[in-house]
Structure 1
Amino acid sequence: MDSKDDKPEFNEKITSDTATAAAIATDDEHSMTVREAFRRYPWACFWAIAMSLTIIMEGYDGILLANLIAYPSFKKQYGNYYPALGQYVVSAPWQAGLGNAANCGAVLGQFLNGYVTERFGHRRVIMVALVFLTGFVFITFFAKSIAVLCVGEVLLGIPWGIFAIMGSAYASEVCPLALRGYLLAFVNLCWVIGQFVAAGVLEGLVNNTTQWAYRIPFAVQWAWPVPLFILALLAPESPWWLIRKGRVADAEKSLQRLSSNMSPTQIQLKVAMMMHTNAYEETLNTESSYRDCFRGTNLRRTEVACMILVAQTLAGEAFAYNATYFFTQAGLAASDAYKMNFGATALAFIATCVSWVLMTYFGRRTLLCTGLGLIALDLLLIGCLSYAGTSAATWTQAAFAMLWLGLYSSLLGPQSFTVAAEISATRLRAQTLSLARNAYNVVNIIDGVIEPYLINPTEAGLKGKTAFVWFGVCTLTLVWALFRLPETKGKTYEELDVLFEKRVPAWKFKTTQVNEVAEANEILRDKDWMPKTD
């Protein structure tokens, strides 16, 4: 039963005693406070944070190239001189190519992740990806031409694509219900930390006119892999993944490492809940394949996961998230633009911490819909200010661009990562997150191609008026969220399974009460996966 290759015979394992244990564990999950969860699962918090730190690398590179494009020494090396403008400029096609190169590689990495993580587990996949990343950094560091640089970014995007969803997938499977939202939102904080480091490096080197001004930022990426490899080597495997592989005894050992001061009985109850949820999903013909993400009620769950991550870029991410280029095109000096960008990343860090406070009192749906509405209003104001044409208006636009980042980081960013990781069936978590991140990457690539043509002075040159485009797209995304985005806060994975199977409307998820274990038991009995009751 505990071998790596055998599937568990759940029709033998899901007995009435197992169902009773699952019900007890589910009630315990609902009644557990945040303080109690921290006391019981301190190591789950530590390892969820440790495995999410891989996101820092993606966050670092996510703004590195987008902001290096406005870097004087980088433009001189990889750009062309335009006499009419009196400066070097990276052309719009290459600007779009560099901006989207890593995303193209990430599409492949995330697609592979859906297969390899379910087969080999989270830890081994992370370690192999870190080895490849270390080698690919050499290409970008020694790139002599913009074409070689672009190839290096594509290859780096493959491991980054794996890291992009690994932190969310792992955290969602090791943390108890009370801590799930906080640890999933930490993924957004890792993005911000990476961006903060990148902004600091860029701001510190902006006046350096040598080749090291842009090579040092690439070399910094060698600092991450070794310590992260050691952490992944020592981390416990996800108990949910072990249950799916039939390794029940190993799942109990993993929970022992993730918890503290929990008795063997409490751990067995938690394992019983996992087995019960997994068995219920199996009765719904949910297997661990991409095909099943588009079958039955899983199609709706895949739609929500994809759209909520796509909402990040549809809210104007290409325009306002990496705003250094916008600042320079709006008329700010390069040194002032990088100082603004450095301050913006600090604001994003603080705002992400604020999101932890907000999610204590408000649901995911409330924060996401509010965030999309406020971001749309902010974009509208940036667009309107572009008609003023004064220095004061330019600085005000820059301030509103920073406000966009604050709204995004406190409302949209952390909550979208959380919902995307919570919404899928447990047997389809890696596949659903891979599809969601790939949907984000594809749309982000499209946006990344469009944005340079909208704002580049050699193309449309819309400057601040570009905000009107993203205002319209963000408003449409808000309409989708109002009708299709369900509430996931306070719902166990089995409870979400039942709500989706009952086809409850999105706006009723919060108020609909279900006895998930009892309803799952009925289906298990109907399909002879549990003994019939008298």
Structure 2
Amino acid sequence: MMATQLNWNELQHERKWEMLLKQKRFALWALYSSIGSMMLGFDFGVAGTATAFPAFQKQFGISFPSQPSGYLVPAKYQSGWFGASVAGDIIGNVIAGQLLELIGRKHVIAVGSLISSVGIVLQVESSEWRLFLAGRLVGAIGYGAVYLESPVWIGENSRPELRGFFLCLVNGSIVFGQFLLSLIAQATSKIDGKWSYQTIIVFQFFFVVLLMVVYPFYPESPYYLLKKGKPEQARQALNRIHGPGDQVLIDAEMSRINIAIASSEEIQQVISKESPLFFQCWQGTNLKRTIIAILPIAGQQLLGAAFVLGYVTYFLSLIGVTKYFTVSVVLYVVMLLSNLSAFFFVEVAGRRTLLIPGVIILTMFLLLMGIMGCIHTDGAMWFSVVCIFIWAIVYQLTIGAVGFAFGSEISHLPLRPTVQSIIGITQGGVGWVIGFVTPYMINPDAGNLGAKVGFVFFGLGVPLCIVFYFLIPETRGLSFDEMDYLFNNNVSCRHFQSAIKTQREKTDAMFDVNVEDKSSKTDSAAVTHQLETCATGSV
């Protein structure tokens, strides 16, 4: 009965909580789609966590008497493993960016799962660092491909009112994967021998099995099917996603997606008939949108995500924390709870409101951690741990959760899969640089900076705060058409909300509509204005 009270043909941001309760089936499919993100999060920390195991140090390391185990994995090995993993993620993103359009969203999951299985086998069978490196590379190609499917599928099929909620699943799943890793590592740390670390490698098969069991039933993206001229299959997919009980919702979604496709294709033809999609991402107003889309993802790495999320267990052992596995489990529990809180705040507080204060606070706590690294006392050591915990809480509430959602919604509609691929490449590229140098900064056989590594990330964070202030817009409650209107009219990123409020008022006066008709009328006017703008060459 409640379903008939919602007018699915209109944008109703004020009723998003009510809509969320009616989207349970969509939420389950979005969660399945996010398993690739869990795999990525788990794999991201495998090498760094395994390095903390004495058995792993003995197998892959060199003699180093000052270490408790008597062995140390050289920084060059760790950098090589991390670099191979990130390179694999980038390759997987590039491949998936093409396959998403060639074979569809659904089948990318199968391709990525099979590739990742090969990588897992290579890591399990490795007894020296080169074969382990090859396994890291191959496995990451599969993880990168499966991961990229999730934000694309969710972003193009979720209701605009709920887009931020569901896109938060991407980062939430990454954090959950890291939490599982820390939990399993804590349990296996009591095992003697190679299975102490090999268990966490073998566990990755759990994600592959889960993906492949559900894969035959997973609905292809209705957006993709309609774009390929398959309306009957798209309707079947929508029935599977939302359930056949509310055909008013199915009709509304068919109409909404068709309008989005028609609008994007018409704009696409006006902008360029020959230029490849990749190059269009760097032309006209799309250049600004692409830069904005990759900023939060690059910012995550520049503020120390690769360090905290990839090496925290090993780092804690280096600075003198005795129960480093237990502390890392607690840290990931805290991050998981913080990320769940972001699910609420991303639509209530907004994107800009979370991102700008977030990067400022993160930068300040990195400075404090660096200062504590200069003081050689137990109190300073534990204060550094506290700084890491506070950093993790703020990170997951702000740039960690919002970064993925923000990047997925800011791009121009026809370019979304391509921009998502660029986001993945950026995340991998910047992450590779940070992850590659981190072992050299913290390892006893190299920089041995300890908590002073906070100074490095503080130095990167200061200019980031300035860039965020000027380039991060508030996109909460905006439709894709409204964002097109704002970018095409060169509205300052700091004034998006006030500008769209004025535009909505003008549209209301022009069409003489009631308040409840505002969203749909504004979208129509925005599309018309955008097409006119494109036709005059203002893009």
Rate the CA distance shift 1:344–1:469 in 2: closer, same or farther, 3 A. same
Rate the CA distance shift 1:267–1:186 in 2: closer, same or farther, 3 A. closer
| Identity among equivalent pairs (%) | 25
Partner of 1:19: none
Preserved CA contact (<8 Å) 2:484 2:530: no
The more displaced of 359-368 and 145-154 is 359-368
Quick check: 1:255 aligned with 2:238? Answer: yes
Letter in 2 for 1:434: S
Question: d(CA) in 2 for partners of 1:170 and 1:288?
Answer: 22
Question: d(CA) in 1 for partners of 2:299 and 2:93?
Answer: 18
In the TM superposition, residue 524 of structure 1 has moved relative to its aligned partner by 4.7
The more displaced of 87-96 and 249-258 is 249-258
Question: d(CA) in 1 for partners of 2:529 and 2:369?
Answer: 55
**Pairing 1:167-186 to 2, within 5 Å after superposition:** 167-186=150-169
SS in 2 for 1:488: coil
**Match among 227, 232, 235 for residue 215 of structure 2:** 232
SS in 2 for 1:511: helix
Preserved CA contact (<8 Å) 1:92 1:452: yes
* CA deviation vs aligned residue, 1:194-234 (integer Å, no higher than 9, x gap): 11111011111223231111111111111121221232321
Question: d(CA) in 2 for partners of 1:165 and 1:57?
Answer: 12
SS in 1 for 2:345: helix
Preserved CA contact (<8 Å) 2:366 2:457: yes
Quick check: 1:382 aligned with 2:372? Answer: no
Preserved CA contact (<8 Å) 2:351 2:474: yes
Quick check: 1:291 aligned with 2:279? Answer: yes
Partner of 2:312: 323
In the TM superposition, residue 26 of structure 1 has moved relative to its aligned partner by 9.4
**Pairing 1:30-45 to 2, within 5 Å after superposition:** 30-31=12-13, 33-45=15-27
Question: d(CA) in 2 for partners of 1:523 and 1:131?
Answer: 43
Quick check: 1:147 aligned with 2:130? Answer: yes
Quick check: 1:51 aligned with 2:33? Answer: yes
Quick check: 1:460 aligned with 2:447? Answer: yes
Question: d(CA) in 2 for partners of 1:85 and 1:203?
Answer: 20
Partner of 1:517: 524
Question: d(CA) in 1 for partners of 2:177 and 2:116?
Answer: 16
Letter in 1 for 2:176: I
Letter in 1 for 2:489: K
SS in 2 for 1:297: helix
* CA deviation vs aligned residue, 1:58-93 (integer Å, no higher than 9, x gap): 111111211111211110100001245572111111
Letter in 2 for 1:221: Q
Preserved CA contact (<8 Å) 2:164 2:347: no
**Match among 255, 262, 265 for residue 279 of structure 1:** 265
Partner of 1:304: 292
Question: d(CA) in 2 for partners of 1:519 and 1:207?
Answer: 61
Preserved CA contact (<8 Å) 1:252 1:271: no
Question: d(CA) in 2 for partners of 1:285 and 1:438?
Answer: 25
In the TM superposition, residue 180 of structure 1 has moved relative to its aligned partner by 0.9
In the TM superposition, residue 327 of structure 1 has moved relative to its aligned partner by 1.1
Rate the CA distance shift 1:76–1:178 in 2: closer, same or farther, 3 A. same
Partner of 1:402: 389
The more displaced of 284-293 and 153-162 is 284-293
Partner of 2:516: none
Letter in 2 for 1:28: E
In the TM superposition, residue 522 of structure 1 has moved relative to its aligned partner by 4.8
**Match among 302, 326, 330 for residue 314 of structure 1:** 302
The more displaced of 220-229 and 231-240 is 231-240
Gaps of 5+ in 1: 1-23, 529-534
In the TM superposition, residue 485 of structure 1 has moved relative to its aligned partner by 1.3
Question: d(CA) in 1 for partners of 2:85 and 2:380?
Answer: 34
Rate the CA distance shift 1:288–1:194 in 2: closer, same or farther, 3 A. farther
**Match among 333, 345, 363 for residue 358 of structure 1:** 345
In the TM superposition, residue 380 of structure 1 has moved relative to its aligned partner by 1.0
Letter in 2 for 1:289: L
In the TM superposition, residue 391 of structure 1 has moved relative to its aligned partner by 1.0
Quick check: 1:222 aligned with 2:222? Answer: no
Partner of 1:187: 170
Rate the CA distance shift 1:526–1:74 in 2: closer, same or farther, 3 A. closer
In the TM superposition, residue 282 of structure 1 has moved relative to its aligned partner by 1.9
Question: d(CA) in 1 for partners of 2:26 and 2:74?
Answer: 47
Question: d(CA) in 1 for partners of 2:348 and 2:533?
Answer: 39
Preserved CA contact (<8 Å) 2:281 2:287: yes
In the TM superposition, residue 288 of structure 1 has moved relative to its aligned partner by 6.8
Rate the CA distance shift 1:438–1:265 in 2: closer, same or farther, 3 A. closer
Rate the CA distance shift 1:522–1:352 in 2: closer, same or farther, 3 A. closer
SS in 1 for 2:114: helix
Question: d(CA) in 2 for partners of 1:194 and 1:371?
Answer: 23
Question: d(CA) in 2 for partners of 1:526 and 1:319?
Answer: 45
Which of the pair has the greater relative contact order for Cα pairs under 8 Å at 6+ separation? 1
SS in 2 for 1:469: helix
In the TM superposition, residue 381 of structure 1 has moved relative to its aligned partner by 1.0
Preserved CA contact (<8 Å) 1:320 1:404: no
Letter in 2 for 1:121: G
Question: d(CA) in 1 for partners of 2:384 and 2:474?
Answer: 34
* CA deviation vs aligned residue, 1:316-349 (integer Å, no higher than 9, x gap): 123323311221121122xx11111011110011
The more displaced of 144-153 and 25-34 is 25-34
The more displaced of 457-466 and 126-135 is 126-135
SS in 2 for 1:163: helix
Preserved CA contact (<8 Å) 1:283 1:527: no
Rate the CA distance shift 1:526–1:197 in 2: closer, same or farther, 3 A. closer
TM-score with structure 2 setting the length: 0.88
Preserved CA contact (<8 Å) 1:252 1:267: no
* CA deviation vs aligned residue, 1:221-249 (integer Å, no higher than 9, x gap): 11121221232321222222223323344
Letter in 2 for 1:318: A
Rate the CA distance shift 1:30–1:282 in 2: closer, same or farther, 3 A. farther
Quick check: 1:417 aligned with 2:404? Answer: yes
Partner of 1:12: none
Gaps of 5+ in 2: 1-5, 504-521
RMSD over equivalenced CA pairs, Å: 2.2
**Match among 461, 465, 471 for residue 484 of structure 1:** 471
Instruction: Flag as ranges the 4+ runs of structure 1 deviating above 4 A.
Output: 24-27, 522-528
In the TM superposition, residue 413 of structure 1 has moved relative to its aligned partner by 0.6
Question: d(CA) in 2 for partners of 1:381 and 1:313?
Answer: 19
SS in 1 for 2:304: helix
SS in 2 for 1:210: coil
Partner of 1:427: 414
Rate the CA distance shift 1:392–1:84 in 2: closer, same or farther, 3 A. closer
TM-score with structure 1 setting the length: 0.89
In the TM superposition, residue 163 of structure 1 has moved relative to its aligned partner by 2.3
Question: d(CA) in 1 for partners of 2:21 and 2:325?
Answer: 42
